[in-house]
Amino acid sequence: MSAPISGKFIKRYKRFLVDVELESGEIVTAHCTNTGSLKSCIIENAPVVITETNNKNRKTRYTWEMIDVGSCWVGVNTLKANKIAFELLKENKIPRFENLDTIKREVKFDSSRFDIYAEKGEEKIFIEVKNVTYREGDFALFPDAKTKRGQKHIEQLLKAKHEGYRVALFFIIQRDDVKKFKPAENIDSEYAKLLRQARKEGVEILPIMIKVKPKGWQFVKIIDFEV
């Protein structure tokens, strides 16, 4: 991540844009990579961190990275989840996924593209990664908006499982103020149903808690998945 820039959250609009007031008083517009509702993460005047891009083709100069919700910082940049998962695998931080022989990003399977492909001995492994920001009480939940794309990813993981691959779903929880994880059934009951089915059929579900800070992140632990 490029150097963090501090500011205050003003508003989110058109889904992909947020206005931020910098410490200088200047108001800038940043890109929001998160297509979800960001329930429990939109707080007016809350401290935020944005970064500046060198990509001249970008319409927006800044990217929204995180917000301080009072109990902790929350990482809202969904693109970081894949990078975090990849780094954790390389560093052998994820139980049962240590000492992989091969790790690749963005590998095609059937009509989909999974976030990570790995090999360990004779095992061929597909891993899909989701970013989690939504909290209710002690629970982190996913999704925070209906997701046909997410449903398709589970269906494709099940297909890969039936074809002999080892498959996993990593939920990267970019906040450390929760104790357990569960699907947000009140938001997308079909996704919740598919997730439970996937677990029964052998898809490995790992809710991974990350502590997010303006100058970086660190792995905390794997938390319980409550069916």
pLDDT digits (tens, 9 = 90+) for 25-83: 999 999 999 999 999 999 999 999 999 988 878 889 999 999 999 999 999 999 999 99
Given 14, 47, 75, the domain boundary residue is 75
Full domain range(s) for residue 41: 5-75
**Residue 105 and residue 33 share a domain:** no
Report the distance separating Cα 75 and Cα 140, nearest Å: 13
Q: What is the pLDDT of residue 54?
A: 83
Measured between alpha carbons, how far is 28 from 46 in angstroms, rounded to an integer? 15
How confident is the model over 152-186, as pLDDT tens digits? Answer: 999 999 999 999 999 999 999 999 999 999 999 99
pLDDT of res. 1? 61
Q: Taking 80 as the threshold, does the pLDDT of residue 125 lie above it?
A: yes
The total of structural domains in the chain comes to 2
Task: Looking at the structure, tell me whether residues 217 and 127 fall in a common domain.
Answer: yes
State whether 119 and 106 are in the same domain. yes
Q: What is the CATH number of the domain that holds 65?
A: 2.40.50.580
Count the neighbouring beta carbons within 10 Å of the beta carbon of residue 147: 20
What residues contact residue 110 under an 8 Å CB cut-off, 6+ apart? Answer: 156, 159, 160
Indicate if 132 and 184 belong to the same structural domain: yes
> Contact at 8 Å (CB) between 64 and 52?
no
The span from the CA of 178 to the CA of 141, in Å, is: 10
The count of other CB atoms within 10 Å of the CB of residue 151 is 17
Co-location of 69 and 101 in the same domain: no
